[in-house]
Structure 1
């Protein structure tokens, strides 16, 4: 069985989509906390806040990866 060739043509687009999805999840959970923060337990609130911190770190990492991929794409096209 032969490995698929490495096709990076749409990596930047896929990464940008991942950023948008993660931002959407972050906003949804922030809205949830704003609306129901007083009604949920402290443990659940801490879990959501922890997830949001990981989401923010993920977004930062994905944006760095987008920059790297965009530079690599330019070099391939040169």
Structure 2
């Protein structure tokens, strides 16, 4: 079978909200673990951890927005 014979998987969005919620929870756990790590980190490491956690928090906001959008799309189908 050549690469031109393959069919893409159908777009199944039924569990997107659940997957996104799980991703948010994992990211929150990563932030909490990073806070614990900061207790033993040097000044530069602490700054890197703070920056990474800031990006994680931004990602959480984006995922929550996407959760709302996905939920509304599911309700309107």
Give the TM-score, by structure 2 length.
0.88
Gaps of 5+ in 2: 1-5
Q: Corresponding residue for 2:31?
A: 26
Count of matched residue pairs: 72
User: How far apart are residue 41 of structure 1 and its match?
Assistant: 2.2
Root mean square deviation of aligned Cα: 0.9
Specify the SS of the correspondent of 2:10: coil
User: How far apart are residue 69 of structure 1 and its match?
Assistant: 0.2
What do residues 12-59 of structure 1 show as CA deviations (whole Å, max 9, x unaligned)? Answer: 0000000000000001111221x32xxx32221111110000000000
Question: 2-side partners of 1:30 and 1:43: how far apart?
Answer: 14
Gaps of 5+ in 1: none
Question: 1-side partners of 2:56 and 2:31: how far apart?
Answer: 7
Question: 1-side partners of 2:62 and 2:52: how far apart?
Answer: 15
Higher fraction of helix: 1
What do residues 52-71 of structure 1 show as CA deviations (whole Å, max 9, x unaligned)? Answer: 00000000000000000000
